[in-house]
Amino acid sequence: MTMDKNAQLFERARQVIPGGVNSPVRAFNAVGGTPAFIARAQGAHLFDANDKRYVDYIGSWGPMILGHGHPQVLSAVQAALLEGFSFGAPTEREIALSEAILKLMPSMDMVRLVSSGTEAGMSAIRLARGYTGRNKIIKFNGCYHGHADALLVKAGSGLATFGASSSAGVPAQVVQDTIVLEYNDIGQLEEAFAKYDGQIACVIMEPIAGNMNFVRASTAFTRRISELTQEHGALLIYDEVMTGFRVALGSAQSLYAQQIPGFKPDITVLGKVIGGGMPMAAFGARREIMEKLSPLGPVYQAGTLSGNPIATACGLQTLSLISQPGFHEALHAKTGQLMAGLKAEADAAGVPFSVDHQGGLFGFFLLPELPSHYEAVMKSDKPLFNKFFHGMLARGHYFAPALYEAGFVSSAHTDADIQATIEAARDVFKTL
């Protein structure tokens, strides 16, 4: 009998780490079963503790857009390691990474580097409140912006009542200024702005929501958010932690600007790809907003490891490689190939299935039609999804272990990888 090292490690992990994991979704609590403990990764492949190989459609939840262990990224990181791990003092590479980000995202004049998306989102909210002198914020049901207290809020029952905290340990007072609305619902948005006229500091949104699988904000919804925030002196915060540099070189905001002339968010939140797998995130805006930040202005924000020299080296090399002409077009085509293949196999097996993708981000639903908001996403057949997930995992194809998570393709995925996944799905769909 072969020993299952994943099971052994999971048992050991659970003794010392809550749930055995350092971020909840890794525990497979949504799908059941034992998580694979990853020993190493190369290109588009993960290898677990049993040395089983998987085609990786998570990519560390977004950062690994070039796949794992890209040789040029590795050498940039190796060179940086020899120079020192962290100085707590400014470095030239922070300027270079900031310049590289700003060049690709003209909505921002300045950017501040931090270490996680949570930190970036939390700081962006503080900045918006500090800049506007207002307290209320609007977020959308199903969008995730990290685990800052004010953002851990469930949708309430209508606008009269504010959402309740979605986590123990968050006092009601802390979320009393957070208004939760349904994604893609223009009516609710108009109602909220009318009701709280002059009180709303900002609207924070994922332009393509990757935390309820894959749901695009409609152009009409985005246009209305932009109009209402401008009319009411509120700021639009675009959380592009997931979409940034992944759905297009100019990120999701460049795609919406093609539909809505002159469109740009006021503040952008970034993470994942800009660190290439190292702890790195950022938030940026036009100069007058960013100059409110400490040490120039009254909004405090800081970090011991912010702008870390290894992370900036990794991020810079990653941004440089994905800036090559045609990179995102090729990635979009490859992701499209996977989606079309899965859809064809599901159709052939008579399984209800809908797909969408942009660049290297994708979503598939065990639903006949693409959903446009959280409630619709959660109508997916959970047991059916879990069966699909485990069927694919057993065959060596690693999708996100929850039906409300997006999927990720990297430039390291080969046609053979994609084809193998489609063939495995053919078998799995027959079992559903």
Could you tell me the sign of the dihedral formed by the alpha carbons of 369, 374, 376, 377, in that order? Answer: positive
Residue from 43, 63, 146, 315 that binds ligand PMP (CB under 6 A)?
Answer: 146
In the complex, what is the shortest distance from the CB of residue 368 to ligand PMP, in angstroms, rounded to a whole number? 27
CB-side neighbour CA atoms (13 Å) of 67: 19
Contacts of residue 95, Cβ cutoff 8 Å, sequence gap at least 6: none
- Closest to 399 in 3D by CA, of 338, 351, 329: 338
Annotated active-site residue 144? The verdict is yes
Tell me which DSSP letter residue 165 carries.
B
Catalytic residue chosen out of the listed positions 56, 239, 356, 417 = 239
Could you tell me the two tokens for 349? 């097996």
Per-residue mark of binding to ligand PMP, 151-190 (x: CB under 6 A): ----------------------------------------
Binding to ligand PMP in span 74-103, by CB under 6 A = none
* Helix, strand, coil distribution of the chain in percent, nearest 5: 40, 15, 40
Could you write out the DSSP letters of every residue in 191-242? HHHHHTTTTEEEEEE-SEESSSSSEEPPHHHHHHHHHHHHHHTPEEEEE-TT
Tell me which DSSP letter residue 401 carries.
S
Specify the residue, 391 or 407, whose C-beta has the smaller distance to ligand PMP: 407
Instruction: Measure the CA–CA gap between 241 and 78, rounded to whole angstroms.
Output: 25
Specify the residue, 67 or 244, whose C-beta has the smaller distance to ligand PMP: 244
Q: Does 211 help bind ligand PMP (rule: CB under 6 A)?
A: yes
Instruction: Measure the CA–CA gap between 42 and 235, rounded to whole angstroms.
Output: 41
- How many CB atoms neighbour CB 374 within 10 A? 21
Q: Does 241 help bind ligand PMP (rule: CB under 6 A)?
A: yes
Instruction: Measure the CA–CA gap between 112 and 296, rounded to whole angstroms.
Output: 13
Contact 159, 189 (CB under 8 A): no
Question: What residues does 239 pair with on adjacent strands?
Answer: 269
Q: Does 28 help bind ligand PMP (rule: CB under 6 A)?
A: no
- Closest to 414 in 3D by CA, of 46, 74, 55, 72: 55
Q: Does 206 help bind ligand PMP (rule: CB under 6 A)?
A: yes
Binding range to ligand PMP, per CB under 6 A, among 40-48, 158-166, 204-212, 223-231: 204-212
Annotated active-site residue 292? The verdict is no
Specify the residue, 256 or 429, whose C-beta has the smaller distance to ligand PMP: 256
Binding range to ligand PMP, per CB under 6 A, among 88-96, 142-150, 174-182, 224-232: 142-150
Q: Does 207 help bind ligand PMP (rule: CB under 6 A)?
A: no
Catalytic residue chosen out of the listed positions 139, 264, 272, 334 = 272
In the complex, what is the shortest distance from the CB of residue 170 to ligand PMP, in angstroms, rounded to a whole number? 16
Annotated active-site residue 256? The verdict is no
Residue from 6, 91, 98, 116 that binds ligand PMP (CB under 6 A)?
Answer: 116
Specify the residue, 29 or 414, whose C-beta has the smaller distance to ligand PMP: 29
C-beta nearest to ligand PMP: residue: 117
Q: Does 386 help bind ligand PMP (rule: CB under 6 A)?
A: no
Find out whether the peptide bond into 295 is cis, omega within 30 degrees of 0. yes
Instruction: Measure the CA–CA gap between 249 and 47, rounded to whole angstroms.
Output: 30
Q: Does 283 help bind ligand PMP (rule: CB under 6 A)?
A: no
Helix or strand or coil: residue 299? strand
Residue from 43, 130, 207, 271 that binds ligand PMP (CB under 6 A)?
Answer: 271
Binding range to ligand PMP, per CB under 6 A, among 4-12, 116-124, 353-361, 373-381: 116-124
Residue from 236, 242, 342, 422 that binds ligand PMP (CB under 6 A)?
Answer: 242
Specify the residue, 20 or 117, whose C-beta has the smaller distance to ligand PMP: 117
* Binding positions for ligand PMP, rule: CB under 6 A: 61, 116-118, 121, 144-146, 206, 210-211, 239, 241-242, 271, 281
Residues labelled as active-site residues: 144, 239, 272
